[in-house]
């Protein structure tokens, strides 16, 4: 099943009266169950592509289909619902809510979805277990290491059981040992639950984990290799 279909996707940003051409006609398709890396140097358009795929921003031209729906034909409200139900996003800087505990950060997306209280508690506990943070439910993000915070961010993304998880340089702020653990965790989820992962990176170690590596440069696909 095709999860993401980008056709000639263009993204321009307006910046101080000039235009930045961040994506210049990107054609990419991702199937369910993929474990794929978007690689490229800083400024090549990786985050832009992931933000567009995650419906966090809108395309300037071309078309983007997520799960068979054309996002350019959807209202803001429909996009928010698609994002809330079907997509988990892991940010480079974790983006946890500092005033909430670990378990509150993880359960928040479920509460938004209107899931019943007992199920929220159950799924949150399971997600904590999946990422190996059972004993840390009551901590605040600032009381944890970077790797632990990234685990919380992963738990928050997977607690919704989304078909697609997008991760923007998920290991960039972690040392390589912890980075490996995070990748192993993502890979285990990909294998056990079949969650589709698309992550960006400029780190060779991270690319080595991927079963497919798409290189982008200056807003265009340079190569697309399935291993």
Ligand X SMILES: Nc1ncnc2c1ncn2[C@@H]1O[C@H](COP(=O)(O)OP(=O)(O)O)[C@@H](O)[C@H]1O
9, 177 contact by CB (below 8 A): no
Q: Specify the residue, 65 or 92, whose C-beta has the smaller distance to Mg ion.
A: 92
Separation CA 146–CA 169 (nearest Å): 13
Torsion of CA 6, 159, 47, 171, to 10 degrees: -130
Please tell me whether residue 43 binds ligand X under the rule CB under 6 A.
yes
Name the one range near ligand X by CB under 6 A: 41-49, 98-106, 123-131, 182-190: 41-49
CB of 210 to ligand X, least distance (A): 16
Interface segment toward Mg ion; rule CB under 5 A; list 45-53, 111-119, 124-132, 155-163: 45-53
CB of 9 to ligand X, least distance (A): 12
Judged by CB under 5 A, the chain residues 105 through 134 that form the site for Mg ion are none
Total site size for Mg ion, rule CB under 5 A: 2
Q: DSSP secondary structure string, 111-169?
A: HHTT--HHHHHHHHHHHHHHTT-GGGTT--GGGS-HHHHHHHHHHHHHTT--SEEEEES
Stretch that binds ligand X, among 25-33, 45-53, 113-121, 151-159 (CB under 6 A): 45-53
| Measured distance CA(211)–CA(207) in Å, rounded | 8
Q: Which of 37, 48, 44, 17 is nearest to 171 (CA)?
A: 37
The residue behind tokens 């056990």 is: 192
**One residue of 4, 30, 35, 47 binding Mg ion per CB under 5 A:** 47
| 25: three-class secondary structure by DSSP | strand
For residue 190, which of 43, 31, 8, 6 has the smallest C-alpha distance? Answer: 31
Shortest distance, CB of residue 129 to ligand X, whole angstroms? Answer: 32
Residue 46 as a binder of ligand X (CB under 6 A): the answer is: yes
Q: Of 172 and 178, which has the nearer Cβ to Mg ion?
A: 172
Please tell me whether residue 44 binds ligand X under the rule CB under 6 A.
yes
| Binders of ligand X in range 4-23 (CB under 6 A) | 13, 15, 20, 22
CB nearer to Mg ion: give 34 or 169.
Answer: 169
The pair of three-digit structure tokens given for residue 184, joined into one six-digit string: 């192993």
Rg (CA), the chain: 17
Q: What, of Mg ion, ligand X, none, does residue 171 touch, CB below 5 to 8 Å by kind?
A: none
Q: Which residues bind to Mg ion, rule: CB under 5 A? A: 46-47
Q: Which residues bind to ligand X, rule: CB under 6 A? A: 13, 15, 20, 22, 40, 42-48
């Amino acid at each position: 099943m095709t999860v993401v279909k980008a056709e000639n996707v263009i993204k321009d940003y307006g910046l101080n009266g000039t235009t930045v051409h961040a994506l210049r006609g990107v054609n990419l398709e991702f199937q369910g169950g993929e474990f794929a890396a978007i690689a490229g140097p800083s400024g090549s358009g990786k985050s832009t592509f992931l933000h567009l795929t995650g419906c966090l921003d809108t395309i300037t031209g071309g078309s983007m289909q997520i799960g068979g729906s054309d996002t350019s034909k959807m209202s803001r409200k429909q996009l928010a619902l698609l994002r809330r139900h079907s997509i988990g996003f892991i940010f480079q800087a974790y983006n946890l809510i500092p005033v909430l505990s670990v378990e509150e950060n993880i359960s928040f997306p479920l509460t938004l979805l209107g899931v019943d209280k007992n199920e929220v508690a159950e799924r949150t506990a399971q997600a904590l277990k999946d990422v190996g943070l059972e004993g840390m439910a009551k901590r605040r993000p600032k009381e944890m290491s970077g790797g632990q915070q990234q685990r919380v961010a992963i738990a928050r993304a997977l607690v919704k059981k989304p078909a697609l998880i997008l991760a923007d340089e998920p290991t960039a702020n972690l040392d390589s040992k912890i980075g490996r653990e995070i990748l192993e965790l993502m890979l285990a989820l990909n294998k056990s639950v079949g969650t589709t992962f698309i992550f960006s990176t400029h780190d060779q170690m991270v690319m080595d984990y991927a079963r497919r590596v798409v290189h982008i440069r200056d807003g265009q696909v340079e190569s697309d290799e399935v291993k």
